[in-house]
Amino acid sequence: MIDSLLSQTSEWLRGTGPNADIVMSSRIRLARNLKPYPFSHWASKKQERECLKAVHDAILVSKNLKKSLFIFMHDISDLDKQFLLERHLISREHILHPEFKAVNVSEREIASIMVNEEDHLRIQVMQSGFNLQEGWKVADRLEDELAETLPFAFDNKWGYLTACPTNTGTGLRASVMLHLPALVMTKQISRVIQAITKLGMVVRGLYGEGTDAEGNLFQISNQITMGQTEAETLEHIEGIIRQLIGHEETARKQLVKQNRDLVYDKIWRAYGTLKNSFIITSKETIHLLSMVRMGVDLGVIPNLDRKTVNELFILTQPAHLQRMEGKLLAQSERDAKRAAIIRSRLGS
């Protein structure tokens, strides 16, 4: 079942969509809970089981989720849980205590729905490039359809009720994954992060909460969900992201104009190392891929497309390497397998 995911490219990795040279992906997440049941961390095992069944039954009759995969977390191995996490289909919290938890993955991995995470439902939609509006349309359509059969907990004063008060209101978290190597290289990134944090944004790394911004990848999301409509939230974060895109574009132009040889040297050294290594760690890979991605986006490296580079950020992660090999691998074996995959992809 999960094997089918390994053979396809996640929608958010395609390297297409508006401003795809700087914005890797856009994500919409809606938190929802069902009226009859306590929040997941208060619910009994019986209530968790009943909630899971109710959501499963609703998804089975969904017209928008006809070709999706419904995966019960207790039925899969720890390796497959990590695999789903690496593909951004589940959260770290969803791996813990897998009994009565599940995830539904739509065709092309555009949408995933976590069941019995912190909230009863976490509806997530991922799009390639700067495409929050399209993501919101898909998420809103899914939520409307599920609401026809599932009684969502809603209060006229507070809005949608959630386990964490910071999500109460619309329950909407919009986030954008940005690749900002030039702002990092010109040492502007700290000032930029401080500025957007004051505007109510949260800055995280590639895998969200608790992760560092490796590979110059920064996940920016809204912090407030109450007192704003969904449209107002999206308008606010889109305005901030447009400014960030502008800052990165300016920084890239300045770098090439003022330090062309240095920039080109970093890009080609990174490309050469990746293409010729026989052993390479995950951390080094992400750092070097970041430079290569900038090289592709600046037109410095010909005959290499953004999609290939984006895929390598995920395919070189530990669970993906072991999934492709069909067995568990020691770290040294993973480092060798990683290098072989990179050589193969870049060579082709």
Q: What are phi and psi of 203, to 5 degrees?
A: -115, 125
Domains defined for the chain, CATH in brackets: 3-252 (3.30.590.10), 259-347 (no CATH)
Q: Please report which confidence band the pLDDT of residue 2 belongs to, taking 50, 70 and 90 as the band edges.
A: confident
What is the pLDDT averaged over residues 25-34? 98
The reported pLDDT for the residue numbered 152 is 98
Of 241, 299, 245, 304, whose CA–CA distance to 272 is shortest?
Answer: 304
- The rounded mean pLDDT for the chain is 95
What is the pLDDT averaged over residues 84-100? 95
Per the document, the length of the chain is 348
How large is the greatest C-alpha to C-alpha distance in the chain, in angstroms? 64
- Spatial distance between the Cα atoms of 296 and 196, rounded to a whole number of angstroms: 28
What is the pLDDT averaged over residues 302-314? 96
- Whether 208 shows a pLDDT value over 80: the answer reads no
The reported pLDDT for the residue numbered 1 is 73
The reported pLDDT for the residue numbered 347 is 85
What is the pLDDT averaged over residues 235-244? 97
- Whether 209 shows a pLDDT value over 70: the answer reads no
What is the pLDDT averaged over residues 195-217? 79
The reported pLDDT for the residue numbered 212 is 59
- Spatial distance between the Cα atoms of 291 and 233, rounded to a whole number of angstroms: 32
Q: Please report which confidence band the pLDDT of residue 3 belongs to, taking 50, 70 and 90 as the band edges.
A: confident
What is the pLDDT averaged over residues 218-247? 95
Q: What is the pLDDT of residues 322-336, one digit of tens each?
A: 999 999 999 999 999
- Whether 25 shows a pLDDT value over 90: the answer reads yes
- Whether 100 shows a pLDDT value over 70: the answer reads yes
Q: Please report which confidence band the pLDDT of residue 207 belongs to, taking 50, 70 and 90 as the band edges.
A: low
pTM (predicted TM-score): 0.94
Any residues with CB less than 8 A from the CB of 330 and at least 6 apart, and which?
none
Q: Please report which confidence band the pLDDT of residue 348 belongs to, taking 50, 70 and 90 as the band edges.
A: low
DSSP string of 107-159, one letter each residue: GGGSEEEEESSSSSEEEEEEEESS-HHHHHHHHHHHHHHHHTTS-B-EETTTE
Sheet containing strand 201-204, edge to edge, reads 69-72, 102-105, 111-115, 121-128, 23-32, 172-179, 217-222, 201-204
Question: Contact at 8 Å (CB) between 72 and 102?
Answer: yes
Query: Which residues does residue 114 pair with via DSSP β-bridges, in sequence order?
Result: 103, 122
Sign of the Cα torsion 302, 307, 313, 314 reads negative
Question: Contact at 8 Å (CB) between 71 and 103?
Answer: yes
What is the pLDDT averaged over residues 4-18? 93
- Whether 122 shows a pLDDT value over 90: the answer reads yes
